Amino acid sequence: MKHSPAYRLAATVLHGFDEYRARFQQITQDASRRFRDAAWREAQQASAARINLYGEKVQDTLGRLQRTFPQDVLVHCETWREARRHYANLIGQRLDYELAETFFNSLFCSVFEHRHIRNDWMFVYSSREDAAHRSGIELCRRHAVNGDWAGALAWALQEAPLETPFAHLERDSQLGAGLLEAQLPARLWQAADARVELLNSVFYRNKGAYLVGRILGGGEQVPLVLPILHGEGYGEQQGGDPRLHLDTVLTETDEVSIIFSFTRAYFQVDVPVPGEFVGYLKQLMPHKPEGELYAAIGFFKHGKTEFFRALNQQVAKREERFIIAPGVRGMVMAVFVLPSFRTVFKIIKDKFDPAKEVTPAIVREKYRLVKRHDRVGRMADTQEFSNFIVRQDHFAPECLAHLLEVAPSTVSLKGDKVIIKHCYTERMMTPLNLYLEQCSDDERVTVLKDYGNAIKQMAAANIFPGDMLLKNFGVTRHGRVIFYDYDEVSYLTECRFRHMPKAQQGDSYMDGGASLSIGPHDIFPEEFGPFMFANPELRALFMEQHPELFDPDYWLGLQQAIRNGRVIDVYPYRNKQRFSGTIGQLVH
């Protein structure tokens, strides 16, 4: 049996997966050293390298398969049927079996070009769907409060596996206890059996380390996240304080959900048992899909698998059909939704509107850029699918007709099936232009403030959105403004920000005024207003809130800071929640 082609194929795929996991864990476990040494640029590079790693190892393994097996064996579905059975046995006792299944799926799809998607030949459904046994590995540490909340927080911080001491442990613990008293339900605060429970692993991202867990007692529980930072300026200037401090205490489910948002870079965290780890996080954030939680801790390809399985389950209910997404139709993308699924599906159109000068290849590259970049809580994560097949009767007729009209090279019919050669998925949000039509006056002020902050924070991460129209931004259920249209994004440092020539201040080149030579990377911030807002009242309010966005010198200053190697701080919680308050350069 071990000499059969199917067994050797399964073993070859598993060997490739082992190589992937070993390198993944090496990059991840080195995050503690990068945090200790404030190696912020290296941390950004490691994050991108870990994202690239999956595709690299799939390609390495594919090459090994092609060198080892004759083509007729490799493309024979019956070979893969047997290989699937052997592979399921080989990974049966693994703690990361679901990740191994996804890796097998990636190889199958690479060989068959995303065709023949059947559970007989790959893991459309998990081989351990009904498995109820647990690993027995202890994921958490626990501490009884016994009425001493400051002491409990001191334990949480002091016993964390961090190599650097805290500058003011007692002060941080007292500040944290004061916040807990204000935030916790009285029944939990006073509970005789109150206890703090934290995952053993530290979550690292950007300049922060996060302790994640919950507080239990009195029959209640709340999530608990403790963000930890170095002293101001450490790693960027001489004399910065390397010692640690607690930055705030977060106990609201929505706050924790934002920490793990689909708009952020993936955490670097040691995950001993992925399924159980995600199960624990799911208890803290019950409304967050499991696929997003897998992605948040770095397993974005398995997050895609979980998304696909959840979508299949939802479609099988036959309660609704795919429809054209509400809002202004895109110049580059055709967008449709399954309303209850909270996801949008985006297809590149065959022909773009004349105002767009990009190509499909450029659009794909822009989406890859965002995937690998720090999204700073302001850009939606995407998943990419090939040969996506859905029954025709799952589409509203007008939706299917629209897709066939604008993207005939991508969308086609085969019998009763709709075949979509390529699409992106993103989390569904309310388009900002529609939100502004429906919201109250107070909500309008708040969301415009956040719209400007979103642009600033992307710029701080060296991303210029290009097309800043309201329709290209969305509002999440938490009221946060997120950018989701990437066909014109570029690195901020590639842009050329210019002042309008004084002789032409009375004219606008948009209105056919005096001649102005404009290069492909030239940007005139003083002209943003009419582009962004047709409504003069909204424009005036926004310009009052964010006047610097219309000043070329603001953008030039950001560019210089980035070129000087500065990694600007952007925190996943509001500045007013921070104990240190003045450290952050940008409100969140």
Q: Give the catalytic positions in this structure.
A: 381
Q: Both tokens of residue 361?
A: 């290849």
Choose among 493, 484, 443: nearest CA to 463: 493
Q: Establish whether 205 is an annotated binding residue.
A: no
Q: Establish whether 195 is an annotated binding residue.
A: no
Is residue 169 within 8 Å of residue 154, measured between CB atoms? yes
The CA distance from 67 to 577, in Å, is 57
Q: Establish whether 346 is an annotated binding residue.
A: yes
The CA distance from 98 to 126, in Å, is 7
Is residue 572 within 8 Å of residue 555, measured between CB atoms? no
Amino acid at residue number 130:
D
* Cβ neighbours, 10 Å, residue 502: 7
Q: Establish whether 208 is an annotated binding residue.
A: no
Choose among 17, 39, 472: nearest CA to 230: 39
Contacts of 35 (CB under 8 A, 6+ apart): 43, 162, 204, 209
Q: Establish whether 328 is an annotated binding residue.
A: yes
Q: Establish whether 285 is an annotated binding residue.
A: no
* Cβ neighbours, 10 Å, residue 181: 11
Q: Establish whether 429 is an annotated binding residue.
A: no
Is residue 322 within 8 Å of residue 339, measured between CB atoms? no
Q: Establish whether 325 is an annotated binding residue.
A: yes
Is residue 224 within 8 Å of residue 215, measured between CB atoms? yes
Amino acid at residue number 500:
M
The CA distance from 454 to 448, in Å, is 10
Distances, alpha carbon 324 to alpha carbons 176, 251, 327, 333, 363, in Å: 47, 38, 9, 12, 21
Q: Which residues are annotated as a binding site for ATP?
A: 325-331, 346
Q: Which residues are annotated as a binding site?
A: 325-331, 346
